């Protein structure tokens, strides 16, 4: 059997690894061992923050809704309660978009709830 040399594959693997860590500080962008560790931790943080982003957006929608509803003399909790009592099943994302982009329609909705 002929001898297989793996130098090119090894170099390519290192080069791709270091390409991912471009811009990292100190040795983490140049030293392979530190780059591997940096990529591992960066991936964990990225996954966690992708999950956390959903909660951040939900709280942003709530803040927007509260600001929009207070202009009409209500607050967020009573507004959501009146939506549930009247069986209006619009989610917070749609309601906040409606409040910012279509204020006339949102005002009509709040008026109907009162």
Task: Go through the domains of the chain in sequence order and give each one's CATH number.
Answer: 7-113 (1.10.1900.20)
Average pLDDT over residues 91-102: 94
- Which pLDDT value is given to residue 4? 85
CB 64 within 8 A of CB 96: yes
Inter-residue long-range contacts of 63-70, CB under 8 Å, 24+ positions, other chains counted: 64/96, 64/99, 64/100, 65/92, 65/95, 65/96, 65/99, 67/99, 68/96, 68/99, 68/100, 68/103, 68/106, 69/99, 69/110
pLDDT in tens, 10-64: 999 999 999 999 999 999 999 999 999 999 999 999 999 999 999 999 999 999 9
b/e string for 11-44 if b means 16 or more Cβ within 10 A?
Answer: eeeeeeebeebeebeeebbeeeeebeebbeeeee
Q: What's the whole-model pTM score?
A: 0.69
């Amino acid at each position: 059997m002929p001898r297989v040399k793996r130098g090119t594959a090894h170099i390519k693997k290192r080069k791709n690894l270091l390409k991912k860590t471009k811009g990292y500080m100190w040795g983490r962008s140049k030293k392979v061992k530190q780059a591997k560790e940096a990529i591992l931790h960066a991936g964990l943080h990225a996954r966690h923050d992708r999950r956390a982003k959903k909660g951040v957006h939900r709280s942003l929608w709530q803040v927007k809704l509260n600001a929009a509803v207070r202009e009409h003399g209500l607050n967020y909790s009573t507004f959501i309660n009146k939506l549930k009592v009247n069986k209006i099943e619009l989610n917070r994302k749609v309601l906040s978009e409606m409040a910012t982009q279509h204020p006339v329609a949102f005002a009509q909705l709040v008026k109907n709830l009162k």
